[in-house]
Homo-oligomer: A and B are copies of this chain.
């Protein structure tokens, strides 16, 4: 498609401008596979250069502002979003095929607004900055902003993790950093609506041009060039492991803070007495968690390890029934469908048995049958790398064991994960298994759950939405959970023997 007058504009330098790029793309309706809406530009370096210059210029003004200014922006943005709620959730639903209700309107939209408001509260409160005054030595330190941040959002949350409205965005702004957002090309229209709300909020709160900017898409080499640019201070990314690793490598080589949230299969271990006692409830709980949103959650339970024993075959059969009966919904994009079908084929080729599903459910849209696979522990343990590769979407792999000690052995082969779950009673048999399993599992996961599916990620100060590599790039940081998530986008500033009038306000004592 050629770049004509109908091509959407990018939001840079405080205004809507035509992209210098001549390539364009359209959103695709996942229900039909057909292109919908306006043409959106793929930005080239010229756009990024402008955005970087504007962000750096803006930063020179805003870096000395106190938290209440950034809080005002976040609150104003939340208000603008509320005013266009219906339009936003409707367009997001069109572009992603996620249902307006309950998903977008009743869950993701309120969560997004709540995150922005909570981040505003933390920016105002400023305890995240941890000011320390050592009066005896006249040394003071606190965390402060570090400069323009590039936030790259994923396909699976058009609002709550969007580069221009999600958790990384809110954290980077709360810390006082200008943001250059890359919207995900799967929902460009939604992202444009969000940017229009930001624009109003920026204007109402008196921010200079360039504090928040947005592009729709960019070639990987230009994106990496921006990451390496000295004007860019940090990167937040949520998406695929392949892109995440490339981004992390580029930033790491320059010692630039980079936070990547990548793949996770979120293993679930079901202990024997639990399956006996509560297996029936678990059929529904697991099926709902796995198939919700067509399984397109970072914390989707993609691997379930089952105990030896008579209860297991019946439980598997019950889950198989649920999966085959449950409604299917479109996946987010053509690439998700292709990748899911490939992943299922790979698992089958490696020796997994297909219990149900495994095929495209329509020809033009992006629907894949709900898919359940099964493999025995010995086969899994023979090639754990293949069997734990993520199959993003409405699919899960069940692992049957013949000896309960295989549970810890399987846990021992896992890469880092966002979450890990153990379903267990408090009976002595389960407790003994737990005591073997937990030490192996604990350090492999950011969040350890008992008797609860991992798909809900509460916005709680105690939340850890993070975990060891390759779930993320560093096990000490979380992408959800304020105020901890803010400190990712900050540097530690120390002032030694600096007089009061030259200190940031939070470090002054008189």
Contacts and interface: CB of A to CB of B under 8 A. Distances in A.
A450 interface: yes
Contacts of A409: none
A492 B464 contact: yes
A508 interface: no
Interface size bracket, A side:
35 or more
Interface string A3-27: 0000000000000000000000000
Contact of A492 (B147, B416, B475): B475
Contact of A146 (B60, B64, B133, B475): B475
A362 to B, nearest CB: 36
A496 interface: yes
Contact of A448 (B134, B438, B464, B493): B493
B141 A472 contact: no
Contacts of A447: 494-496
Given A139-B458, A434-B502, A449 B132 contact: no
A187 interface: no
- Copy tally for this chain in the complex stands at 2
A82 interface: no
Interface stretch (A100-108, A247-255, A270-278, A290-298): A247-255
Contact of A462 (B137, B233, B257): B137
A143 B476 contact: yes
A499 interface: yes
Interface in A231-268: 233, 248-249, 252-257
Nearest to A475: B491
A316 B466 CA distance: 54
A439 interface: yes
B493 A464 contact: yes
A487 interface: yes
B491 A443 contact: yes
Contacts of A462: 132-134, 137, 139-141, 494
Contacts of A346: none
A63 interface: yes
A71 B176 CA distance: 38
A168 B496 CA distance: 22
Nearest to A145: B443
Contacts of A449: 496-498
A355 interface: no
Contact of A495 (B60, B257, B448): B448
A426 interface: yes
Contacts of A442: 493
Interface in A437-473: 438-439, 442-443, 446-452, 454, 458, 460-464, 466, 468-470, 472-473
A228 interface: no
Interface in A131-153: 132-134, 137, 139-141, 143, 146-147
A253 B257 contact: no
Given A147-B443, A454-B496, 16 more contacts: A64-B439, A133-B462, A141-B462, A146-B475, A249-B252, A255-B470, A255-B473, A256-B469, A426-B499, A448-B493, A449-B497, A451-B497, A463-B494, A464-B493, A466-B492, A468-B491
Interface of A: 60, 63-64, 132-134, 137, 139-141, 143, 146-147, 233, 248-249, 252-257, 416, 419, 426, 434, 438-439, 442-443, 446-452, 454, 458, 460-464, 466, 468-470, 472-478, 481, 484, 487-488, 490-499, 501-502
Q: 6 nearest interchain CB pairs?
A: A255-B469, A464-B494, A475-B491, A134-B462, A447-B494, A252-B252
27 contacts: A63-B439, A64-B439, A132-B462, A134-B458, A137-B458, A139-B458, A139-B462, A141-B463, A146-B443, A147-B443, A248-B252, A248-B255, A254-B469, A255-B468, A255-B469, A255-B470, A257-B475, A257-B476, A419-B496, A434-B502, A442-B493, A447-B496, A448-B494, A450-B499, A454-B496, A475-B492, A476-B491
